[in-house]
Amino acid sequence: MENASAPPDSVLGRRDAMATLANARASEIACGLTALGNDIAYVELRPVETGLVMLQGRIGGDGAAFNLGEATVTRATVRIPSGEVGFSYVLGRDRYKARLAALCDALWQNPSSRESVERYVLAPIKAHQESERARQRAQTAATRVDFFTLVRGED
């Protein structure tokens, strides 16, 4: 991906925000959004829908791509009154979460609300995800086994 036509920072930032939202819990997003006001008006451009996407995998960095299987994905598209259109694709069938994530994406695109979304919605979720990851790493590290070869005392 590190080629001459690397996406601009705004794209990278949005990608990062969308990934964070996709991995968050609905309650976390909802909780963060209350800080931005209770009733944020929005229009659903397309009803929230659940479908399947084909996941592709490859073995090693140079293996041929193969179809791994299908995953359930829910997508939402909303428009806020200032005109920004927010999208979300989240794993699973949580329509409520998909809608909230799309709303956050729309608000993130609006320069006047980006700061609040980053601070009240994304930052706590990122912190939580980071601590969760650290906890898991610690748990895994505790069961680590180091193999080494003993020199047998035969001579």
Contact positions vs other proteins (CB under 8 A) = 43-47, 49, 79, 83, 85
Closest approach of other proteins to the CB of residue 82, in Å:
10
- Beta-carbon contacts of residue 82 (< 8 Å; ≥ 6 apart): 110, 112
By C-beta, is 46 or 93 nearer to other proteins?
Answer: 46
Q: How far apart are CA 38 and CA 25, in angstroms?
A: 18
Q: How far is the CB of 92 from other proteins (least distance, A)?
A: 21
Nearer to other proteins, 78 or 122 (CB): 78
**C-alpha dihedral sign at 76, 79, 80, 83:** positive
Q: 60 or 83: whose CB is closer to other proteins?
A: 83
CB 121 within 8 A of CB 34: no
Taken as a whole, the chain contains a residue count of 155
- Shorter beta-carbon distance to other proteins: residue 46 or 135: 46
CA 149 to chain centre: 42
From 90, 84, 125, select the one nearest 105 (Cα to Cα).
84
Closest distance to other proteins from the beta carbon of 103 (Å):
15
Q: Residue 142 CB, nearest distance to other proteins (Å)?
A: 50
